[in-house]
Amino acid sequence: MSETMKEKQEQQPIVSENGPFVNIKDKAILFAWIAGLLLLISILWTLTSSVQSNILLRTINSVFINNEDTRRVSKYIQHKTGKTDLLGYWYLMLNSTDKLFMFGVFQDGILVPLGAIVSDDGRVKDVIPLSAHATQVFANMPKSILQMYINRIEENKGNGR
């Protein structure tokens, strides 16, 4: 093997047997897989929303029980179609006309579940942490972030559903 053979190998262009469109075809297949997975995830998310809301209802009530709070959540309020709304779940409070809006806040890269007790007139009465970690983070959360979420909930007036 002389240097001339190495030079010949380096000079030959690398051409695919199927032509230059193989790269585009591979990208199209990858895009189709990603789009298909996103479609499947969104369909599953939509079809399991009632299961998610019931699991959250039990979890919220267990948080109230663990904190020796007498309040309870009784029923999930379904989302009205055709209207964009806040990202979270609305629940009716047991033996009260108030509602609870369960939402999440990202604080230091961690999702912190919070609940806002909303009165009939749309005012937020109280914001409560809904996990042990949320209780720790809630004490150190800047009041401006919390006020921003309170304002969004009050603008929705608690009757978006």
Model confidence pLDDT, tens digit, residues 74-124: 888 886 665 666 788 889 998 888 899 998 888 888 888 999 999 988 899
Q: How many angstroms separate the Cα of 160 from the Cα of each of 83, 90, 157?
A: 8, 9, 7
CB atoms closer than 10 angstroms to residue 29: 10
On whether the pTM is more than 0.85, the answer is no
Q: How does pLDDT run across 135-154, given as a tens digit for each residue? A: 888 888 888 988 998 998 88
Q: Can you tell me which residue has the tokens 């608690």?
A: 158
